[in-house]
Structure formats: structure tokens, C-alpha cells
Structure 1
């Protein structure tokens, strides 16, 4: 085997892992929000089972990528669902339901574990199309490795794309777990998380509107520099702004606690 070809494959593998992580950074936040209402000991299991199911889908989808890219309805449903989650949270927050029902949490209808797993899977499927297309385009630039084909492409190209996707899902799993921990430490960060969920819904909506079968937006708009800069700038503003506000509220609560303790001692 040519060492230069092997080196090229190794390089593309790491690029695919990084690409999956970057394209799915918003995916991790969405998944963390979805599993957040489960008991703490079931959150990681839900992420694990959900991503295993999503991985099986991705493996099958690699064989069917040319067909799946035509199904714009997948991303449309994902966009509607994420916007629904964000809007519902904001409406509940405005009505004061979050505060009113904190003490009644034990009486609330328990969240379905397998229902949550299914939502994690469906969310990843909605996100998967753009990352899989980008991965396929990158893998196809590699020289052929081996004299066999899988799913209509060279076996070496398919394998590096498959392994890159697998490693990328592990990155998503880890990132989502860290987001869950952040939400537990800073409960007020939840609103920022839901704003990100809504903004990600807008992202999927843009992909839907730019699909050739819909044609409301130019087909190349989702990949334009202007849109990408706008999307990530808003993501960073929401994330950093939410974190700063959450830290400030935590410090204020600590001051109040210390002040009340001081008053009690007097």
C-alpha cells in the first residue's frame, strides 16, 4: 500500500471527525435539552441508545444518500419540531409555569424513556443529511483504495466515511453529556439552550426552503459565507450571553444565601 495514500486517508478521517463535531455542535445542545427531563441516571442511557439507533440509520443512509437527499420533508419536520420546543418553552416561561410547577414536579406525568430515545434518533436523522453529504463529498476526493465497492462508491472511501461518522457520533455523545451537566449546574441557562434549539430549527428551515424541490431560497444559500457567519454569530451570542447571565444569577443567589445566613446568626 502506498504510504502517501494511507496518510491521505488518515488525514481525511480526522477532518471528517472534526467536520462532524462542528456541524453537530448545535445537535448536541438539542439532544441535551431533549433528555434533560429524564431522571439523571437515565439521561446518558437515552443519549447512548438514541445515538446507537441514529448510527444504524446513518450506516443504512450511506447506501441511500443519493435518494435521501431528495426527501426535504425530513428536515422540514425537524425544523417544525425544534421551533415548537423553543416556542412552547418561551410561552410556558411567560405564563410562569416553570416556577409555579417546580414544587409539583413529583406529580407531573413521567417522561417516557423510549419516547425520549426516539426523539433523540429523529433529531439526529434531521441533522444527518447535511453532515453526511459533506462527508461523502470529502471522501469522494480520495484516491481509490482496494478493488471493491460498497454502496456505489469505492470500498476504501466508504470505510473512511463510515469510521469518521462513527467517531463523530461519539464526539456528539460526549458533547451532549457536557451540555446536560452545564444545564444542571446553571438552571437559568435552560432558556438560552431553548433559544439555540429554536435557532437551529431556523437553520433546518433554511435548508428546507433552499431544497431544489421547494425553491423558495437559492439552492446555494445554506452554504453561503454570509448565512454561515450569521448562523454561528447568533449561536455564539446566545450561548455566551446565556452563560454570562447564568453565572451572574448564580453569584447573586450565593450572595443572598450568605446574607440570609448572616441575618440568621444575628
Structure 2
């Protein structure tokens, strides 16, 4: 019994680390989504997003065997993230002019009220949740079953490990998003890099969609392969590092001038 408990503790630790890694790129998306709100509302939006995420992921654990059949969930998430990324970069680079700046600012704020923002955060989290749950299930089902009680088709012991790992991951995501908001406020020019990361996360969801059993354009195992994971994290880190150095250099230049 002690050996089984140690195995459960080890897998829980692995899940917490995994959720933390998955939360990193998700947190950037959340930060970008709430950044336009007044500072006092940003924390509230992230908090409500966390509450909604908790409820959805708890329900998703019961319904994961059903949810995995709907590739459209991740497809919609992918299209939405790619849309906001491309839209922002296009407006920043091609539409921003001295004459149209006020009009652009007004246009970009439409539909971005507090509750509309919370709803967008929730929708994005639904897309992330399926990926997170699939990864958690793949790890948790390797554990020996504890007793005969099952929840949502998953052994109660395995379910508990997935549940606590997911909760820790959501908490990490919430505080990481809050930190990213602060960084974006301190270095406004970093916003373009942040939206590039949002687009890259959208590409990640595209890969997951294309590798779904019912789509079959990419091999089912590809999104979880070492090759893809290396490509994803190397590109994400390159965007972040280049964006950071560019924004810091621009800020220093502005201070000198």
C-alpha cells in the first residue's frame, strides 16, 4: 500500500509540473485578454475566470470521455486565438496612423467590457481545458486503481490525482497571468510579442485539432511527441526573448530622448 501511495504522490507531482508548463502559455493569453481593463478590474476578471475554469474543469473530468469526441471545441479556440492575434498585429502595424489613432483606439475597445472580457477568458479556457485534461488522463490512467469506485468512467483514485493536479495548474495560471499583465503594463511594446505568442498558442490548438482521431490529417501522437514539444517551446521562448529585448531597448531609448 505504501508503494502505491508513493506512486500516486509522484504522479501528482508530475501532473502539477505539467499543469504549470501548460499554464505558462495559457497565462499569456489570459493577460492579453484582460490588459485593456482598468487595473482594479483586471484582477477581478482573472478571478472570475479562475472560478469559471474550476467549475468547467470539474465538470470536464466527468465528461472527458464525451468531450474528446468534439474536435470542434479546440478548432473554435484555435480560430479565435489566431483571429485576435492577426487582428491586433494588423491594426498595430498597418492601420495605426496619426489621423486614425483615436478611431482605432475606439474600435479596439468595442465589445471589451468587463463581463464580455470574462466570457472571452472562459471560452479560451474551455479550449485549453480539453488539452490539459487529455494530458492528465494519459498520465493518471497509468496508476494502479484504488478500490472499485469509479467517477465519470475513471477510477476514484486516478480521478482525485487529476482533480488536484488540475486545481494547482489553474492557480498557477491565474497568478502567472496577473504577473504577465504587470509586465505588459511596464513594457507596452512587449504587447506585440504577447500577441504573437497568442497566435502561436492558436497554432498549437490547430495541431491538436488536425491530429484528432476524427480529423486525422496529422498523426494522433504528434502533439504529444518530443519533436513537436521542442518546436513549440523553442519558438515560444524565441518570441518572448526577442520581444523582451526589443521592448527594453525601445524603453531605454525613450528615456534617453
TM range (shorter): over 0.9
Q: Classify 1:75/1:43 alpha carbon distance in 2 versus 1 (closer, same or farther; 3 Å).
A: same
The answer as to whether partners of 1:51 and 1:120 remain within 8 angstroms in 2 is: no
SS state of the match for residue 188, structure 2?
coil
Which residue matches 1:67?
A: 66
Question: How much has 1:6 moved relative to structure 2?
Answer: 2.1
- For residues 25-64 of structure 1, the aligned pairs below 5 Å read 25-64=24-63
Question: How much has 1:110 moved relative to structure 2?
Answer: 7.2
Take 2:116 and 2:66, find their aligned partners in 1: how far apart are those partners? 27
Which residue matches 1:215?
A: 216
Q: Structure 2: where are the runs of 5+ without partners?
A: none
Alignment length (residue pairs): 254
Q: Classify 1:219/1:147 alpha carbon distance in 2 versus 1 (closer, same or farther; 3 Å).
A: closer
- For residues 110-129 of structure 1, the aligned pairs below 5 Å read 111-129=112-130
Q: Classify 1:97/1:67 alpha carbon distance in 2 versus 1 (closer, same or farther; 3 Å).
A: same
Take 2:149 and 2:14, find their aligned partners in 1: how far apart are those partners? 24
Which residue matches 2:168?
A: 167
Take 1:160 and 1:254, find their aligned partners in 2: how far apart are those partners? 50
Take 1:215 and 1:60, find their aligned partners in 2: how far apart are those partners? 27
Question: How much has 1:14 moved relative to structure 2?
Answer: 1.7
Question: How much has 1:45 moved relative to structure 2?
Answer: 0.8
Q: Classify 1:102/1:12 alpha carbon distance in 2 versus 1 (closer, same or farther; 3 Å).
A: farther
Which residue matches 1:248?
A: 249
Take 1:214 and 1:110, find their aligned partners in 2: how far apart are those partners? 33
Which residue matches 1:10?
A: 9
Question: How much has 1:161 moved relative to structure 2?
Answer: 1.0
Take 2:221 and 2:140, find their aligned partners in 1: how far apart are those partners? 21
Which residue matches 1:145?
A: 146
The answer as to whether partners of 1:13 and 1:164 remain within 8 angstroms in 2 is: yes
Task: Please report the TM-score for the alignment, with normalisation by the length of structure 1.
Answer: 0.89
Which residue matches 1:94?
A: 93
The answer as to whether partners of 1:92 and 1:98 remain within 8 angstroms in 2 is: no
The answer as to whether partners of 2:211 and 2:217 remain within 8 angstroms in 1 is: yes
Take 2:83 and 2:109, find their aligned partners in 1: how far apart are those partners? 20
Take 2:110 and 2:127, find their aligned partners in 1: how far apart are those partners? 27
Question: How much has 1:145 moved relative to structure 2?
Answer: 2.6
Aligned-residue CA RMSD (Å)? 2.0
The answer as to whether partners of 1:210 and 1:216 remain within 8 angstroms in 2 is: yes
Matched, 1:157 2:158: yes
Q: Classify 1:149/1:219 alpha carbon distance in 2 versus 1 (closer, same or farther; 3 Å).
A: closer
Q: Alpha-carbon deviations, 1:136-195, whole Å to 9, x = none?
A: 121112222344222222212111211111111000001111110110010000000000
Q: Structure 1: where are the runs of 5+ without partners?
A: 257-266
Q: Classify 1:110/1:154 alpha carbon distance in 2 versus 1 (closer, same or farther; 3 Å).
A: closer
